[in-house]
């Protein structure tokens, strides 16, 4: 049946008959739908006041069909009658019918008029999933989220318009798995001047973010750093549990390095002869907040050289410095020993899924092989838009504006705590989008309970602690990780007030 040509190949497509359990029958049996509406009958359509008549009629008919008010098989009035009923031009109604038939909403058949098309029966409704955004917290001070209301919609759209208008046609063809060259050129330039990264565009691989980068390096037998000689990965004693879980699923053992006020104690690497790779957050230890001391920056690079190993530099919020000079990337010390990882997730939006890896030359091909040599992964359109956004200075402007905004928020947080909870120590505030509040030993859990009761979303330090770091190597401390970027401006002061309310009184 499916091979029989229809009379005229340009007839608008009928809705697919294969959707029915018995397609052959469905194609020949007359539709047993509800009674057809008579010619001229009132469809009770409300046309939107704004916009063109044709578009408004189409939208109203689609909505009536979608909602079930016009059931499959319902015969529509002739377009002339409908046009007269609605006071619109006949051509307009005829065009709307034809277009909806071409889209599969209506069926136009010689002699039997226009009917609502048979649709695939919906399946029984599936239970809603936990991802439903219904239970949002009253106050959101979770770390790692930039203020979603600060996304530069207008500037981004303008950059997108310029980028897509100027793009060569091949930009809409199969993508380069390494990433668009325009973006890699813009990033090489930007990262050199803003982050002290030493690279050229050929060593940059575009990916969808830090988690994608971790997967490309570690997940699966084809991963770039997988293999029998891989060994365990050194990580900081405090870090994101999500990353530890991803690594654990990939079969990577992690070895925690203790932290102090100068960052990760990289000298501890000497105790682990089997470790050849270390993942660090040198610009701003996550989540405790200090930069890696200059001597340790040099030491960890020396360690990597001596052991033939690698440093993975997670530069997740390097753009956000407030009170001191920006700390350049460790990658600049030795581009052949450091993999530099960054993204727009903090600086612009995690919704873009756009990140980058700056790689030692010898690793580029291995990462591309892990990525899939025909798999581009990241929207070329977003890549072109970001390249234009960087080149035109829009990215710098956006970072400067949000940096000012987040600094003001930090100042407000520090001032509010000084006034209302002066006994609470605050650290990690020179940079980034979050602060750490020290709590008295044994109180973290009860404070988090009070926060949850109040509808205040934030995290305790305990969640970030590596499960295998010993008390003797680094004593656990109670504390809160307070992200000050997530709320919209109008909601921020109330969130800080709620935080101050739930903080415990001095002992």
Q: How far is CA 458 from the centre of its chain?
A: 20
What are all long-range contacts of 219-228, with beta carbons under 8 Å and residues at least 24 apart?
219/246, 219/249, 219/250, 220/250, 220/370, 222/369, 222/370, 223/250, 223/370, 224/363, 224/366, 224/367, 224/369, 224/370, 225/277, 225/310, 225/366
| CB of 45 or CB of 55, closer to a copy of itself | 55
Q: Which residue lies nearer to a copy of itself by CB, 366 or 447?
A: 366
- Least distance to a copy of itself, CB of residue 38, Å: 25
Nearest Cα residue to 438 out of 363, 382, 501, 506: 506
Structure tokens at 226: 């997988």
- Rank residues 17 and 37 by Cβ distance to a copy of itself and give the closer one: 17
Ramachandran region of residue 347, left (φ > 0), alpha (ψ -120 to 50) or beta?
Answer: alpha
Q: How far is the CB of 150 from a copy of itself (least distance, A)?
A: 8
Rounded to a whole number of angstroms, the minimum distance from the CB of residue 175 to a copy of itself is 5
Our CB check for a copy of itself shows the closer of 76 and 503 to be: 76
Nearer residue to a copy of itself within complex by CB, 485 or 496: 485
CB of 442 to a copy of itself, least distance (A): 30
For the CB of residue 218, give the shortest distance to a copy of itself in the complex, in Å: 11
Tokens of 11: 């007839």
Class of residue 464 by CB neighbours under 10 A (exposed 0-12, middle 13-18, buried 19+): buried
Smallest gap from Cβ 382 to a copy of itself, in A, equals: 5
For a copy of itself, the closer CB: 77 or 175: 175
Report whether 483 contacts 144 (CB < 8 A).
Answer: yes
Rounded to the nearest 5°, which phi and psi values hold at 281? -120, 75
CB of 446 to a copy of itself, least distance (A): 27
Among candidate residues 146, 136, 133, 129, the one with its CA nearest the CA of residue 457: 136
Looking at beta carbons only, is 280 or 421 nearer to a copy of itself? 280
């Amino acid at each position: 049946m499916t091979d029989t040509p229809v009379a005229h190949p340009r007839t608008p497509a009928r809705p697919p008959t294969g959707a029915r359990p018995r397609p052959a029958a469905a194609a020949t049996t007359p539709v047993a739908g509800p009674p057809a509406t008579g010619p001229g009958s009132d469809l009770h359509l409300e046309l939107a006041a704004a916009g063109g008549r044709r578009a408004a009629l189409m939208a109203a008919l689609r909505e009536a069909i979608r909602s079930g008010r016009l059931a499959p098989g319902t015969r529509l009035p002739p377009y002339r009658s409908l046009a007269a009923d609605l006071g619109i031009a006949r051509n307009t109604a005829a065009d709307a019918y034809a277009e909806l038939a071409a889209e599969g909403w209506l069926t136009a058949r010689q002699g039997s008029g226009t009917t609502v098309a048979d649709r695939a029966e919906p399946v029984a409704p599936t239970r809603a999933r936990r991802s439903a955004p219904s239970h949002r917290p009253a106050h959101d001070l979770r770390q790692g989220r930039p203020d979603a209301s600060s996304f530069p919609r207008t500037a981004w759209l303008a950059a997108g318009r310029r980028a897509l208008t100027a793009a060569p046609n091949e930009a809409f063809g199969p993508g380069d798995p390494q990433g668009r060259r325009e973006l890699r050129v813009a990033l090489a330039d930007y990262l050199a001047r803003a982050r002290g990264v030493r690279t050229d565009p050929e060593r940059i691989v575009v990916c969808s973010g830090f988690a994608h980068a971790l997967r490309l390096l570690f997940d699966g037998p084809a991963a770039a750093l997988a293999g029998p000689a891989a060994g365990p990965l050194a990580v900081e004693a405090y870090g994101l549990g999500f990353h530890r879980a991803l690594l654990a699923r990939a079969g990577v053992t992690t070895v925690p390095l203790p932290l102090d006020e100068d960052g990760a104690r990289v000298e501890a690497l000497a105790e682990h002869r089997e470790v050849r790779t270390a993942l660090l957050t040198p610009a701003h230890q996550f989540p405790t907040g200090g930069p890696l001391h200059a001597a340790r920056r040099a030491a960890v690079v020396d360690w990597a050289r001596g052991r033939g190993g690698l440093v993975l530099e997670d530069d997740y919020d390097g753009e956000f410095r407030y009170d001191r000079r920006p700390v350049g990337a460790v990658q600049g010390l030795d581009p052949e020993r450091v993999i530099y990882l960054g993204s727009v997730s903090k600086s612009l939006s995690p919704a873009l899924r756009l990140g980058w890896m700056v790689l030692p030359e010898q690793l580029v091909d291995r990462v591309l092989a892990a990525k899939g040599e025909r798999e581009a992964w990241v929207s070329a359109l977003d890549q072109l838009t970001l390249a234009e956004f960087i080149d035109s200075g829009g990215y710098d402007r956006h970072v400067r504006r949000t940096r000012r905004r987040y600094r003001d928020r930090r100042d407000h947080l520090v001032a509010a705590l000084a006034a209302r909870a002066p006994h609470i120590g605050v650290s990690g505030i020179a940079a980034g989008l979050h602060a750490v509040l020290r709590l008295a030993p044994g109180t973290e859990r009860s404070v988090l309970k009070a926060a949850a009761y109040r509808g205040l979303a934030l995290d305790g330090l305990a969640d970030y602690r590596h499960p295998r770091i010993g008390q003797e190597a680094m004593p656990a401390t109670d504390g809160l990780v307070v992200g000050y970027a997530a709320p919209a401006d109008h909601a921020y002061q109330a969130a800080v007030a709620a935080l101050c309310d739930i903080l415990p009184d001095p002992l």
